[in-house]
């Protein structure tokens, strides 16, 4: 380790920004050098994508600039990460090679519509920021027909988000006066709406969407998409507008580095360590098993919590103390009802007996808290 240790953070999303700020808030630039690398120079809270679809936000009004990090003496490089060389402890980007003393991998999950034949030609990607305005325009134009919301692989980011999307689309169509002539169908490969939250909450979510005449179809494993038609392993469904959540995988450089299998994620424990010394991984790029096949959901709150855990352990190590923080597995996700209220799914993945989940009543207070959640993240990180 050189005189001042260098913490290199790959990815400037929820995990990367949370870790960088936690370390800088506790150690000065005389004590640690911090570098964040991301191929884009902006950050946006994930759920804002749904507000852009609804038309209550624009992309430009919803992003924070990663260049702001420099004001906190956190270096920011807008570059693509091409190689993670764990043996030689360095990273290659488009223009340079950077070495590190501590590495935090927070590169998120990549969306792979190309894995589903016919999807890119015949459907839209509900999670792609480049397609949000077009989705909004298509919805505005719709006078009648079938909308299909289709989850095309598990796990995917923020499990309740597609359900929330269906409720916001329902409200949008009510406002434009065409809801009675447009059907909304929801297709999932899972047997229940939210497997990670358990059967009771899944039933509550099902009741919520059914109460708005949104039809849920379980166990629909997608094979391919044709013009106006979804082809599942068992059966087919017609649509006029397809909004898909494509399969998620770890970025290519992750499996090329050997940290994850192809199409898999980096396995971690609650200390977020990888098998390599001083190399940690947090957020959507990881798999953290709770029990059996149950894993921590891919969500910003969990990426943030894991990043704080890692940051605290790095701070302890820099002070030559023993690492002691473990990710607590606690978090909450808001679900907007489309009727100016929101409920909150409270989650405690590692509670003593078994994972605990609770769905609160849908209130205006929770909607205010959701709005506040976004403001706080942008103001404290950038
Ligand atoms: C519609 C929607 C709604 C959501 N709602 C919620 C919610 O209500 N609550 C919640 O907690 N979460 C929510 N999420 C999920 C949340 O956004 C993600 O779980 C979270 O962003 C994960 O954080 P992360 O740091 O792991 O990855 P990300 O935030 O995705 O950050 C990864 C970063 O790595 C960068 N990167 C990747 N590869 C490279 C490369 N090769 N070179 C350079 N940079 C690279 C990316 O550009 C990206 O900025 C939602 C997501 C969506 C899409």
| Continuous segment of H or E residues that includes residue 175 | helix 161-175
Tell me, using a 6 A CB cutoff, whether residue 158 lines ligand 1: yes
Q: How far, in Å, CA of 230 to CA of 216, rounded? A: 15
Distance CA 108, CA 302 (A): 12
- The strand pair at 64-65 and 42-43 is best described as antiparallel
User: Which is the closest atom of ligand 1 to the Cα of 162?
Assistant: 1
- Among 47, 50, 286, the mutation site with the greatest number of ligand 1 atoms within 8 A of its Cβ is 47
d(CA 303, CA 284): 7
CA dist., res. 47 & res. 101, Å (int): 34
Conformational region of residue 258, where left means phi above 0, alpha means psi within -120 to 50, and beta covers everything else: left
53 Cβ closer than 6 Å to some ligand 1 atom: no
Residue 350 CA to ligand 1 center (angstroms) comes to 23
Ligand 1 atom at minimal distance to the Cα of residue 282: 26
**Separation CA 37–CA 99 (nearest Å):** 13
What's the confidence (pLDDT) of residue 13?
98
Is residue 116 a contact partner of residue 246, using CB atoms and an 8 Å limit? Answer: yes
CA–centroid distance, 100 to ligand 1, in Å, is 23
Rg of the chain's alpha carbons, rounded to an integer?
Answer: 21
Q: Which two tokens stand for residue 22?
A: 């936690």
Determine if ligand 1 sits within 6 Å of the CB of residue 47: yes
SS3 375: helix
Beta bridge partner(s), residue 346:
332, 358
Total residue length of the chain: 382
Q: Is 76 in the pocket of ligand 1 (CB under 6 A)?
A: no
- In angstroms, the CA 53 to CA 58 distance is 9
pTM (predicted TM-score) = 0.97
pLDDT score, position 1 = 54
Question: CB atoms < 10 A from the CB of 316, how many?
Answer: 14
Phi, psi of 208 (to 5 degrees): -60, -50
Domains contained in the chain, CATH given = 6-109+250-327 (3.50.50.60), 112-247 (3.50.50.60)
Sort strands 90-93 and 286-291 into parallel, antiparallel or unpaired. unpaired
Mean pLDDT by groups of 10 residues along the chain of 382 residues? 88 98 98 98 98 97 98 98 97 98 98 98 98 98 98 97 98 97 98 94 97 98 98 98 98 96 95 97 97 94 98 97 95 96 96 89 98 98 98
């Amino acid at each position: 380790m050189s005189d001042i240790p260098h913490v290199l953070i790959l990815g400037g999303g929820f995990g990367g920004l949370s870790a960088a700020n936690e370390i800088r808030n506790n150690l000065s630039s005389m004590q640690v050098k911090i570098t964040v690398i991301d191929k884009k120079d902006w950050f946006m809270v994930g759920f804002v994508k749904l507000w852009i679809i609804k038309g209550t936000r624009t992309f430009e009004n919803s992003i924070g600039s990663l260049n702001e990090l420099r004001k906190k003496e956190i270096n920011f490089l807008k570059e693509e990460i091409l190689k993670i060389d764990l043996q030689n402890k360095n990273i290659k980007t488009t223009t340079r090679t950077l070495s590190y003393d501590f590495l935090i991998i927070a590169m998120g999950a990549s969306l792979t519509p190309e894995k589903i034949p016919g999807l890119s030609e015949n459907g839209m990607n509900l999670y792609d920021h480049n397609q949000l305005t077009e989705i909004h325009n298509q919805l505005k134009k719709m006078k009648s027909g079938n909308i299909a919301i289709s989850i095309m692989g598990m796990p995917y980011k923020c499990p309740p988000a597609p359900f929330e999307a269906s409720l916001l689309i329902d409200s949008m169509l009510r406002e434009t006066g065409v809801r009675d002539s447009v059907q909304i169908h929801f297709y999932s490969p899972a047997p229940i709406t939210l497997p990670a939250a358990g059967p009771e909450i899944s039933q509550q979510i099902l009741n919520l969407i059914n109460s708005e005449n949104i039809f849920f179809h379980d166990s629909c494993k997608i094979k391919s998409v044709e013009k106006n038609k979804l082809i599942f392993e068992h059966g087919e469904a017609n649509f006029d507008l397809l909004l898909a959540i494509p399969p998620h995988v770890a970025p290519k450089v992750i499996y090329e580095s050997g940290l994850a299998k192809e199409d898999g994620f980096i396995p971690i424990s609650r200390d977020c360590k990888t098998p390599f010394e001083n190399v940690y991984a947090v957020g959507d790029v990881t798999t953290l098993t709770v029990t059996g096949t149950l894993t921590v959901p891919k969500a910003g709150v969990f990426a943030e919590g894991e990043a704080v855990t890692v940051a605290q352990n790095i701070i302890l190590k820099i002070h030559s103390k023993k690492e002691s923080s473990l990710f607590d597995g606690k978090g909450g996700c808001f679900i907007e009802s489309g009727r100016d209220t929101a409920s909150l799914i409270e989650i405690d993945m590692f509670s003593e007996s078994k994972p605990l989940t609770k769905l609160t009543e849908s209130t205006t207070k929770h909607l205010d808290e959701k709005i506040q959640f976004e403001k706080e993240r942008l103001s404290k990180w950038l």
